[in-house]
Structure 1
Amino acid sequence: MASATSSPSASMFIELERDAWRALRAATPLPLESSEIDALRGLGEHLDLDEVVDVYLPLSRLLNLQVAAAQRLWADQQAFLGATVQKVPFIIAIAGSVAVGKSTTARILQALLKRWPDHPRVELVTTDGFLFPNGVLTERGLMKRKGFPESYDRRGLVRFLAELKAGRAEVMAPVYSHLVYDVVPGEAQAIRQPDILILEGLNVLQTGAQEGKQLPTTFLSDFFDFSIYVDAHESDIRKWYVDRFLKLQQTAFRDERSYFRRFSELSTEQAVSMAESVWGEINGPNLVHNIAPSRSRARLILLKGPDHKVKRVRLRKM
C-alpha cells in the first residue's frame, strides 16, 4: 500500500500539459498585435503568438478571475466595517532564476492584464531597485553575492509592500540601471494606487532567513495575492545565461557607460569562459541554494523546455 506522501493525490499541485492548459483560455480574446509581442520579448528568449495564446492568455484569464474575487471580497469587508477605505492593489509576485525569462513573463502579463476592463491600471516593479547600492555591497564584501538574499534591502522592500497594502496614495520604488549595474541615486518610480501590481525578482518567494539569524517576523509573501515561479532545468538556464551574455557583449556592453564595457573586447572563447565562471560562482549557487527551494511556495509554476517554451503548468490546489 502506498504511503500518503508517495500518493499522487497528496501533491499540492494540479499538473497540466500545455494542450490542456491552452484549452482553459476559453473565449479570451488576444488584445495584442505581433509588433507588441516582439517589443515585450527579452534578449534571446522565445516569445511568439503561439506562446502568448497557449500560455499567457489562459493565465491572464485565471488572474482576472482572481482579481475580481479579491475585489468583491474587499468590497464586502468594507461594507461590513462601514468603511470607505480606498481599495488596495492585487499583488502578483513573479520569481525565478537569472535568464529564465521571468522579466518577459512579467511584461507580457502586464500588457494582457491592463486590457481587462476591471483592472486597467497595472504597474510593474522589479526588486532590482531594492538591491543595496554597489558602494554598500563593496563595503560589506558582498559584490560577489549580488542577487543573494543578503544583498537586498529587505526592510525597504517589506515597507514598500506594506504601504501599498495600507492604501497609501503614492508609494515610491527605487530604480535600478542594468547599464551601470547599480541603483540610480535620487531616481524613483511613483506607484499611485494601481489595480494590480506585479513584483518581479529573484528573491520574492524567499523567506529572508540568513545563516545564524532568526526568521523575520514578516515575509514578502504575506503581501502577495498570487505568485508565479518560472522554472526550467538548471542546464538549460545556464545555457540561456551564456547565450544572453554573448548577445549583451555585442550590444549593451559596448556602450561607454556600461559597467561591463571591459567585457566587450573579449574573444568569443573568453566571453564564454567568463559567463561560465559567473554562473558557476554566483548565479548557479544562488539558484540551487536560495531561488529553487522557494519554487514550492508559488501558486503557479511555469515549466519551460530547452527551447524556452512553456511545456507544462503546475497550479496549486486551493
Structure 2
Amino acid sequence: MRSLVNFIAKIKSGASQVCAPVYSHLKYDIVPNEKKIIEQPDILILEGLNVLQSSKDYLHDPRHVFVSDFVDFSIYVDAAENLLQEWYIDRFLKFRAGAFSNPDSYFSHYAQLPETEACLTASQLWNEINGLNLKQNILPTRERASLIMTKSANHAVQSVRLRK
C-alpha cells in the first residue's frame, strides 16, 4: 500500500515521469522487473479495494497516509451482495474454462474441478474470503465516495447518488 501512496504522491506533485509496477492477472502478482512509465496524466483512474480507506479505518495511527488523501473524486460501484456473489461464482466458472486452464496461472489447480465441485469451491471462497472482505473492509468505505453508482442484475446502472 505504501508503494501505491508514494506513486500517487509523485503524480500529484507533478513529477514528469513516474514508474508503476505491472500486475499479472495470470500470476496474481506484480511482474518482477517490469514497469510502466506514466507521464503527467490529466486524469488518473485508480481501481481497488482500499482506495477509499481513510484515518477512520486506522484510529491507532493518526499519521498514516492513505490513497484517499490524494483522491479528488471517487466513484463506488455498488450492487446487492447476492448479485456480487452470483457474479463472482459466474466469473470463477468462466475463468475455470479459460484463464485457469493455463498451467502458468496462479489458479490452474481449479481448472480440473468438476462443475459441481467448482461451484462449491467458488461459494466457499466467496463466503470465507471475498464476502468477508466486502463486509469488513469495502462496504464501510462506500459512503466516503463522491458518487455511488448501483448496478442491477444485468449490470445496468440502476441508480446514481452524488454527494454534495
Answer yes or no: same fold by TM over 0.5: yes
**Structure 2 SS opposite 1:249:** helix
Q: Deviations over 1:263-301 (max 9, x none)?
A: 111011010111111111111011001101101111101
Displacement of 1:196 after TM fit? 0.9
8 Å CA contact 1:228, 1:298 repeated in 2: yes
In structure 2, the partner of 1:168 is 15
Match of 2:43 in 1: 196
**Shift of residue 306, structure 1, vs aligned partner:** 1.6
Residue 273 in structure 1 maps to residue 137 in structure 2: no
1:41-62 CA-partner distances (Å, limit 9, x unpaired): xxxxxxxxxxxxxxxxxxxxxx
Contact 2:79 2:151 in 1 (8 A): yes
Q: 1:262 offset after TM fit, Å? A: 1.3
Query: 1:303–1:316: structure 2 CA closer, same or farther, 3 Å change rule?
Result: same
Paired residues of 1:158 and 1:219 also in contact (CA < 8 A): yes
Q: Alpha-carbon deviations, 1:112-139, whole Å to 9, x = none?
A: xxxxxxxxxxxxxxxxxxxxxxxxxxxx
Q: Which residue does the alignment assign to 1:137?
A: none
Is the 1:172–1:191 Cα contact (8 Å) retained in structure 2?
Answer: yes
CA distance in 1, matches of 2:61, 2:106: 35
Larger radius of gyration: 1
Cα distance in 1 for partners of 2:60, 2:32 equals: 30
Percent identity (aligned)? 53
1:85-140 CA-partner distances (Å, limit 9, x unpaired):
xxxxxxxxxxxxxxxxxxxxxxxxxxxxxxxxxxxxxxxxxxxxxxxxxxxxxxxx
SS at match of 1:284: helix
Give the drift of 1:180. 1.0
For structure 1, which runs of at least 5 residues remain unmatched after alignment? 1-153
Q: Which residue number corresponds to residue 223 of structure 1?
A: 70
Query: Which structure 2 segments of 5+ residues have no match?
Result: none
In structure 2, what is the equivalent of residue 256 of structure 1? Answer: 103
1:286 partner letter: N
User: In the alignment, is the contact (CA less than 8 A) between 2:100 and 2:108 conserved in 1?
Assistant: yes
Residues 1:207 and 2:32 aligned together:
no
Report the equivalent of 2:86: 239
Residue pair 2:54, 2:69 contacting (<8 A) in 1 also = no
- Residues 207 and 215 in structure 1, CA contact (< 8 A), matched pair in contact too: no
* TM-score relative to the length of structure 2: 0.94
Asked whether 1:301 is paired with 2:148, we answer: yes
What SS does the aligned partner of 2:90 have? helix
The root-mean-square deviation of aligned C-alpha atoms, in Å, is 1.4
Once the two structures are superposed, the pairs formed by residues 1-318 of structure 1 within 5 Å of their partners are 154-207=1-54, 209=57, 213-317=60-164
Amino acid at match of 1:313: V
TM-score (norm 1): 0.50
Cα distance change of structure 1 residues 235 and 216 upon mapping to structure 2, 3 Å threshold: farther
Secondary structure of the residue aligned to 1:204 is: coil
Local SS of the residue matching 2:77: strand
Deviation at 1:219? 2.4
Mapped to 1, the partners of 2:127 and 2:23 lie a distance apart of 24
For 1:203 and 1:158, how far apart are their aligned partners in 2? 11
